[in-house]
Amino acid sequence: MDDLLLHLLRLLGMAVIGTVIVRLFTLHSARRRAAGIPPHPWFGRFTPQVPNAMSLLRIPLGLWILLVVALPTLQTKPAVWTAHLAFLLVCLFDALDGYFARKWNVVSADGKSLDPAADKFVTLCLGTAAFWRGELAAWAFILLAAREAVSLVQRARLQRQDRDVSARWLGKLKTPIQFAVLYLLVLRSPALPVVLGLELPLRALPAALVQWGVLLMCFFTVISIFPFFAPFSYVNRYAPADPGRLLRPWLLRLIPNLFTVGNYLCGITAVFFALPRPDAPAAAPFVSLFWLLAAGLCEALDGPLARKFNTLSEFGACLASSMALSTFGLATSCVIFFQLSGLLALHGLAAHPLIARLAAGVVALSFFTAVHTWLARASQREPGQPRSGAKPDFVGMPAPAGAIGALILFIFLRNPFLIALLILSLAALMASRFNYPSLATLGRLPFYRFIFIPAVLLAFIVLYLLMFFYPFLSHNSLRDITPAFHLVAWLLFPGLIIYALHGLGRGFVRI
């Protein structure tokens, strides 16, 4: 107990020291908005170099963290304390370098490149440390390194074209998520002595929860690279739509975005339950379907809530587009890949697992491309119209409907070739120009209002109750609840077929 109190006091002391440092740096800073701004009273003519120095200092600090974790001779309590202090300074400098550059009006092209470069170096150091200690899977580490390499190449290409290479908003959110997850993984290493008091609870966490956290980081790592490519500009092209809306209470502005983030978290959870594992229950497709239904519910509510609270914004629209691309594009494609490759391995391609994975990958990639095409088209609005505003109807089958339809196929069918053909058909409908009714239009049609929408809500409620009463599926409980799972599928499947045919019957939209 005494050791725990001592650790808490040390953490409190570090927090106080960090607060004092921030206060000292900002105490005498003045607003500088025009040319000929006087230098900072503390730093004089070196004022423009202070933010860049903060970025540069993160490089040796990240390297020191890696050395402490990797070298047994440095795994002593004093050295580990310095590593924790180094991580605190990394986070502090990462938050303050851009802030001071803008506040002192010393933003430079070098700083715009140096800041993300330092972030990449620290991320790779933390990822290497976690991988070195066996806390990060090899595929996740390769994904992190590949993302940073691709972004570095794209940033250099954009810089040669005299285009802005400063960090995008997805990249700014990606960095703290990566720092937090990777550092928590490092703290789980049993090789490090316990000095903060957080190590033992972290080491006691279930492996499944740790894997879910790694998935959360990896998905955000992937979607943060999309803004570097022109076809995915809709996830980053934003500006304040109406300054008057910024005066709305922060809680009202937060609520719709919470549903948008919930969409993202539900998609990650759907992938988590679809991951191949030896003890995976036969009901895994149902569980993934439940979380995708939950993501669809969040997707259906965030826009109406934003309009209800009058908090529509370009940032909210970009956040919704990026989270939808993650859930209904990337996450659903991952679920399709895992389930389809497993079925192909059981039906004729057991001796050729590589061919089964390649075939499943082609189908999953085609589905992701169709979702991207639909989202890019749906994000386009007339000049002056907020992108988060809803059009009366959709051009192409909506991505949530296509994603849910794709997962339902795995419940009714066991022939992987037929499933692949139908998934490609759904992808073609999403990428098509057929006129599909929106949720507002469906509410005015008697069939959808009194049959389809209540059936979808009933299916979601039944799935929720099943997961609440049977959180851990065993073979005995699976026999009892399988009929309920099939009831849920039958509640959804006919309505989706009718909806697909309805869009085909309405014809093409001329654009």
pLDDT tens column, 248-296: 676 777 888 889 999 999 999 999 988 887 666 566 777 788 888 888 8
Residue 108: pLDDT band with limits 50, 70, 90 = confident
Ramachandran sector of residue 310 (left: φ over 0; alpha: ψ -120 to 50; beta: rest): left
Query: Residue 475 CA to chain centroid, in angstroms?
Result: 33
Q: Domain 46-228: which topology?
A: Four Helix Bundle (Hemerythrin (Met), subunit A) (1.20.120)
Residues pairing with 394 in the sheet: 436
**Residues in Cβ contact with 442 at an 8 Å cutoff, skipping those fewer than 6 apart:** 448, 449, 452, 453
Residues pairing with 435 in the sheet: 395
Q: Report the chain's mean pLDDT, rounded to a whole number.
A: 80
Q: Is the pLDDT of residue 25 over 60?
A: no
Going from N- to C-terminal start, the domains of the chain cover 46-228, 243-506
pLDDT in tens, 190-249: 888 888 888 889 989 898 899 999 999 999 999 888 888 878 877 766 554 454 545 567
DSSP per-residue letters across 73-110? GG-SHHHHHHHHHHHHHHHHHHHHHHHHHHHTT---HH
pTM score over 0.95: no
**Residues in Cβ contact with 221 at an 8 Å cutoff, skipping those fewer than 6 apart:** 143, 144, 147, 174, 178
Min mean pLDDT across 110-114, 145-149, 348-352, 358-362 is at: 348-352
Min mean pLDDT across 242-246, 275-279, 375-379, 476-480 is at: 242-246
